[in-house]
Amino acid sequence: MHRLADKFALITGGTSGIGLETARQFLAEGATVAITGRNADALARAAAALGDGVVCLRSDAGDMACQRALAQTLSALWPRLDVLLINAADVTHRPLEAWDEAGWDRLMATNLKGPFFLVQALLPLLHAQASVILCGSVSAHIGLPQSSPYAASKAALLSLSRTLSGELLARGIRVNSLSPGPTQTPALEKLGLDGEAYAALLAQIRQLVPLGRLGTPLELAKAAVYLACDESAFVVGSELIVDGGVSGL
């Protein structure tokens, strides 16, 4: 059964990890899928991995003009948008003393400002009964060292999910959040840490997971399919946490 048949779905940050696997699962469930990414080579690799059925669009999630351009492009391609998964994120982790204002602004633009203005730009295209999924993080619920700006941005995004739920519900648009725990993706290699600090942080992260392992992109993608499809029609303003027990045990 194709749970996303006849649905048009956009995934930001869809060139690797959770985004790429979710695009694969959305396609398998019958959706018409577009993904975004900043890097042309990464988009080309994703297109090769996903096949001809995916639309690949170059877009910077932290650039507000790109959000408006992306909405215009999709409006020209598709009659509506049924599913929006905002997955693109800056995952930089650094000690408090290593942050500067420019780095903070870049992270917040990608993780919070960009998502808000993308939803705004896409609003005319979002179909009644559309599903909007904002990708949060278990980091918003715990006190992981070196994650302060990242965790703060995700906590704000979770709040945005709840408030947009109330605002858009009258239009028939459901907004929910999907919060991964530690997941084995290429994003772990982009934390901005050197070798020893990176290894130490990974060891610390694994110790946090009651299940004793990191999650997989497929496990998160399956959760995204549920939030995207009609099976979750009674789910709104909620946070689905897929974290191996990090936040609850």
Contact residues for 123 (Cβ-Cβ < 8 A; gap 6+): none
**Residue listed under structure tokens 């992260």:** 205
Exactly one of 8, 26, 117, 150 is catalytic; name it: 150
| Position 102, amino acid | A
The tokens of 14 are what?
């869809």
User: Catalytic annotation on 150?
Assistant: yes
Contact residues for 150 (Cβ-Cβ < 8 A; gap 6+): 90, 91, 92, 93, 107, 111, 137, 139
**Eight-class DSSP state of 243:** S
Closest to 231 measured CA to CA, from 223, 239, 241: 223
Contact residues for 28 (Cβ-Cβ < 8 A; gap 6+): none
Residues with active-site annotation: 150
